[in-house]
Amino acid sequence: MTLPTPGILITTALAVLAFVVAFYVLLARERKIPYITNFIFPPVGILFFAVFLAFVAGLIQPPSPSSDHNAPQSSFAVRVSSSTAKALTSIALLCLFTGIGVTTINILRLYNRQVNFRDDDWWKSTRIVRWQKRRRRKLRSEPTYEHSPIEINGESVVKALAAAEIAEYSNAPTILRTIAICKEPFHSIDPKVAKLCVELVNAGWFLQYTACARHPFEFLQTLKSAFGNKWTESSRKIIIVDAYTPHFGFTDSIHEVKTLAMTRDGVRNVPARDSFAGVHTANAKAFNEIKKQFSDSNTPRHPTLLLYEGANALAELESIDQYRVFTRHVITSERMWGGMLTLFLEPAVGSAEIDLLKTYADVFICATEVKSG
């Protein structure tokens, strides 16, 4: 195979580099997700390395016989220079293909994020795979675990809210599937939410806790204290989605240490990827972790409390628009699935986002204000 000249490699690599930068900047600006510009760094580094290697290869490559008849073509130095130039050109070509490959994979991943709001295997969300899933559901006559929930008993939830001193009602809401608590600091709301979790888990519920504004270890200690001697038997009903560490943990090793401590306490941890789509995907995986506890797929789905803590914090890295998309999708979808009580806990949130949560919440609490939606 004839290798391309270093000049062609440099031109191609720079063209790909220009495409990468323009594509990500345009997508980040138009979709209001600046965090995805982090995808630029790996391919840019690889392509710059390819340009550097091709440039060095062009410098040391000996002239061809047709261009310099007086050069000693058979000398040892010329042979070494020629071999080195070919090796550098080959490596540069490999780096160019690698940069193109990484860019292609990242584009498919971003497509999956933007179109399907997922951040896992993109091929699972393709049209043909989804068509096959729909076809299997139509052909299946017996009920499935996912679509056979045990409906929420509103009265039991109201009693649990009262026991936790979160809210009391003389006339309970007829529909109670979504709760929003805003502007309450962690130190004051943690004991109450922990008590709510204890009441529901003791009634046979599962807890799916998504931590975005702090490491889940902190609330887990409050929760463990609230369960007391029932912690060991109750911990298997608790699934944690850690969305804090991939967004705000950076390279601090303490987060890994505390995550290991949580799993040793008996709870299961599902790490989220660094986006709202990644948090959504991690929650889907956590749902499947609960499903694994039932050997019979026809078992009715037990009620689950889905606690989203500080999801608004991720807007610092993506955008507030993406938070609104996440909130609208999660709340309405979980209301439709049934058997789910969604609790959004937002200690620091703007007025526009408060109005959004108030729109969907059956129980809305902001500081000392209590309203029924």
CA distance 339 to 148: 9
CB 42 within 8 A of CB 122: no
Q: At 125, give phi and psi (nearest 5°).
A: -105, 10
Return the CA Rg of the chain.
28
Look at the block and give the residue holding tokens 């063209």: 15
CA distance 291 to 339: 13
- Number of residues written out for the chain: 373
List pLDDT tens digits, range 58-109: 988 887 665 555 555 568 778 888 899 999 999 999 999 999 999 999 999 8
- The interaxial angle of helices 186-202 and 154-163, nearest 10 deg, is 140
Provide DSSP, 79-108: HHHHHHHHHHHHHHHHHHHHHHHHHHHHHH
Q: At 343, give phi and psi (nearest 5°).
A: -120, 115
pTM of the model: 0.86
| pLDDT, position 330 | 96
CATH of 145-372, one of 3.40.50.720, 1.10.760.10, 3.90.650.10, 3.40.50.300: 3.40.50.300
**Residue ranges in the chain modelled with pLDDT below 50:** 369-370, 372-373
Going by C-alpha positions, the residue among 256, 276, 356, 344 that lies closest to residue 316 is 276
Q: Where are the domains of the chain?
A: 6-116, 145-372
The tokens describing 148, both together, are 């056979």
CA distance 177 to 360: 9
**Residue 30 class from Cβ within 10 Å (0-12 exposed, 13-18 middle, 19+ buried)?**
exposed
Percent helix, percent strand, percent coil in the chain, to nearest 5: 60, 10, 30
